[in-house]
């Protein structure tokens, strides 16, 4: 399905890059023809699909857990058990400390990010078309991880955990010592050490969020370009190979986000 009979390629691309936005100052939907960047603007589509996919994740895992004592597990249960064993193995290999939060957190991150990334495989015009017919809403983006607000929010949550465990395990004095006494344990280099360590600390959530956003945004953009410049009856020739390759990107980015979270929290719990 393509709207190129209504939009020029430029308008088509611009249309698909616009969010369904809510202005908190007056509680009104923002004009879809105006892109607004403000702390008072919420991207409703990204928030909705993030929560929806989170509920899907919880629902299927809860149902599977309730039926986990069956003698003959079904394919869904086997798949979920494989995912849990995969995550648990990585946590045990990387996270050497004992903590009851890390494994559930890693599982949540991996599956949740994987589901959000997988929305990129849905035809870009399908859900906006249905939304237009049912709710009269045509401006809609369905890939939450292609929204930098979502990815940075997730990485900010990980960053808060890094600070929490750093202060809990090392104390304020130990945490400040790491900032001022590394890598050169000499009073002359206190300021230099602080600048290096402070930048290193801030780079963790920024790189974590931007890496995921950049990969998913570029993948979404390629699907939009294919749909906008190629006739609909030829799109499958490029869409199918790109979608197959993009599946690897979707899984890899979910894995990288999970692994880096485990590594960063492992570093936070480690005493020097």
Query: What DSSP character marks residue 97?
Result: S
CB atoms within 10 A of CB 266: 17
Rounded CA-CA distance 106/112 in Å is 10
Q: Tokens 């923002």 belong to which residue?
A: 30
Residue of 38, 79, 185, 207 with catalytic role: 207
| Residue 243: alpha-carbon gap to chain centroid | 19
Q: β-pairing, 41-43 with 28-29?
A: unpaired
Based on the residue annotation, tell me whether 215 is a catalytic residue of this protein: yes
Among the listed residues 3, 138, 153, 211, the single catalytic one is 211
Say if residues 22 and 44 touch (Cβ distance below 8 Å): yes
- Give the count of beta carbons closer than 10 Å to the beta carbon of residue 109: 22
Alpha carbon distance 94, 92 (integer Å): 6
Catalytic residue, from 43, 155, 215, 239: name it. Answer: 215
The Cα 3–Cα 9 span in angstroms is 9
Q: Which two tokens stand for residue 22?
A: 């809510």
Eight-class DSSP state of 189: G
In the beta sheet, which residues pair with residue 21? 43
Residue reference for tokens 């809860």 = 62
Burial (Cβ within 10 Å: 0-12, 13-18, ≥19) of residue 60? middle
Q: Which residues are catalytic?
A: 207, 211, 215
């Amino acid at each position: 399905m393509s709207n190129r009979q209504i939009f020029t390629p430029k308008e088509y691309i611009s249309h698909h890059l616009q969010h369904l936005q809510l202005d908190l100052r007056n509680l009104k939907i923002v004009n879809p023809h105006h892109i607004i960047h403000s702390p008072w603007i919420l991207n409703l589509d990204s928030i909705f699909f993030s929560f929806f996919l989170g509920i899907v994740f919880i629902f299927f895992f809860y149902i599977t857990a309730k039926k986990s004592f069956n003698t003959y597990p079904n394919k869904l249960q086997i798949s979920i058990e494989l995912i849990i064993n995969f995550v648990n193995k990585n946590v045990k290999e990387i996270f050497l400390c004992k903590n009851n939060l890390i494994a559930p957190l890693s599982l949540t991150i991996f599956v949740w990010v994987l589901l959000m990334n997988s929305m990129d495989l849905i035809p870009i015009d399908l859900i906006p078309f249905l939304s237009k017919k049912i709710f009269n809403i045509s401006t809609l983006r369905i890939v939450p991880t292609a929204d930098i607000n979502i990815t940075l929010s997730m990485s900010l949550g990980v960053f808060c955990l890094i600070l929490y465990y750093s202060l809990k395990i090392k104390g304020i004095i130990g945490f400040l010592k790491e900032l001022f006494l590394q890598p050169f344990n000499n009073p002359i280099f206190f300021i230099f050490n602080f600048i290096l360590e402070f930048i290193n600390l801030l780079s963790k959530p920024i790189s974590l969020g931007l890496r995921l956003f950049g990969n998913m945004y570029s993948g979404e953009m390629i699907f939009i370009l294919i749909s906008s410049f190629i006739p609909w009856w030829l799109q499958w020739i490029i869409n199918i190979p790109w979608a197959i390759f993009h599946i690897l990107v979707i899984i890899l980015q979910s894995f990288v986000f999970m692994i880096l979270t485990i590594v960063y929290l492992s570093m936070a719990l480690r005493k020097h």
